[in-house]
Chains A and B, each alone.
Chain A
């Protein structure tokens, strides 16, 4: 059965890393008869992200106002829903998620039928593992998530994710705006979607800056915990 795959790349000032990521992505061989389209969601970048992306034969959506990562990803998900894609995969534009790992996610989805497949750094401890403080934070979210949903997700902050049709339908109406990764897992589990993880090898970011730094990381933990809690008690 042929399938249409949309790669959603949320971008904010990524002109430095895109020329490397996009050609690699477009030349990636997908499992049989899957067709790939790359979608750049330009979240009001201040640099030439949009022009660079157009040069590399990617579909580009320029958001007129800055929505943040959640809103940008959801825009891609909406595009996937409107254009009848079977699968949408979020891939960060900063080069952390090597496109050659994409088939692993798709194959895992075909094999297990999971609605969400997360590319995880920690299942097989290979590749870039992030700093100690970040790993601590990720461990914490692993436990919060397990407490709330009973699901074992080791890399709940990973933005390297596959959404199938069911997940696309849900995420197009209900997807958190700020720091969406851990919180959305609670939303998905509560809706009864099947979440799976597959080991991937990530790289260190090639350019740009993380959105979560120093003092912000405390706020991040607090805000996300709160949001996860409220998603947990909210009726689906």
Chain B
């Protein structure tokens, strides 16, 4: 086994352990962890199966294998970033609705208290 293979495999395993730790501590939700776990599975697959990348390169007709990796990963990262933006937008909207709801409730509650006093 090549030295670089061993390094990638070790780094991958450490990464999975770190993700697991985050989930167990409740700092990362499982649905977001899925993407990271799938990524590590891919990386692990190609660190064991060194001919795989060459095969994919020939299938897609890319000249340099490294370019295939860059294109693939940059695309995947972009898609995931877009997904995170969608999630953030939803959170913003939900947060706004909650704040408004609480403000209205407070106002209503105050009115009730005043009515009770008088």
- The residues of A with any CB-CB pair to B shorter than 8 Å are 64-65, 178, 222-223, 226-227, 230, 233-234
Stretch at the interface among B5-13, B29-37, B54-62, B77-85: B29-37
Name the prevailing secondary structure of the A interface residues: helix
Q: What CA separation (Å) do A222 and B41 show in the bound complex?
A: 14
Q: Once the chains are docked, how many angstroms separate the CA of A230 from the CA of B22?
A: 10
Counting CB contacts under 8 A, is B101 at the interface?
yes
A230 touches B98 (CB 8 A): no
Task: Name B72-118 residues within 8 Å CB distance of A.
Answer: 94, 97-98, 101
Residues of chain A within 8 A (CB-CB) of B34 are 222-223, 226
In angstroms, Cα B104 to Cα A235, docked, is: 40
A174, closest chain B residue (CB): B26
Q: Quick one: which of B1-54 are within 8 Å of A by CB? A: 20, 23-24, 30-31, 33-34, 37
B interface residues, tally (CB under 8 Å)? 12
The residues of B with any CB-CB pair to A shorter than 8 Å are 20, 23-24, 30-31, 33-34, 37, 94, 97-98, 101
Contact assessment for B98 and A65 in the assembled complex, using a CB-CB cutoff below 8 Å: yes
B24 touches A226 (CB 8 A): no
Asked if A230 and B30 sit within 8 Å, CB to CB, the answer is yes
* A residues less than 8 Å from B37 (CB atoms): 226
Q: Which residue of B lies closest to A226 (CB)?
A: B30
Closest 6 pairs between A and B when the two form their complex, measured CB to CB: A65-B94, A64-B101, A227-B30, A230-B23, A234-B24, A226-B30
B30 surroundings in chain A (CB, below 8 A): 223, 226-227, 230
Task: Enumerate 17 A-B pairs (CB-CB under 8 Å) in ascending A order.
Answer: A64-B97, A64-B98, A65-B94, A65-B98, A178-B31, A222-B34, A223-B34, A226-B30, A226-B33, A226-B34, A226-B37, A227-B30, A230-B20, A230-B23, A230-B24, A230-B30, A234-B24
Main secondary structure of the interface of B (DSSP, over half): helix
Taking a contact as CB atoms under 8 Å apart, the answer to whether A233 and B101 are in contact is: no
| C-alpha spacing A230/B23, complex, angstroms | 7
Candidates B20, B24, B97; contact of A65 at CB < 8 Å = B97
- Complex Cα–Cα for A222 and B38 (A): 11
Q: In this complex, what residue of A is CB-closest to B104?
A: A64
Task: Determine whether the beta carbon of A223 is less than 8 Å from that of B94.
Answer: no
CB distance from B25 to the nearest CB of A (A): 9
Most buried by A among B23, B30, B98: B30
CB distance from B97 to the nearest CB of A (A): 5
Chain A: CB-nearest residue to B95: A65
The distance in angstroms between the C-alpha atoms of A178 and B29, with both chains bound, is 10
Bound together, the chains give a CA A65 to CA B101 distance in angstroms of 10
Task: State A138–B101 Cα separation when bound (angstroms).
Answer: 39
* Alpha-carbon separation in the docked complex, A64 to B100 (Å): 10
| Listed residue (A178, A222, A227, A230) with the most chain B CB atoms within 10 angstroms of its CB | A230
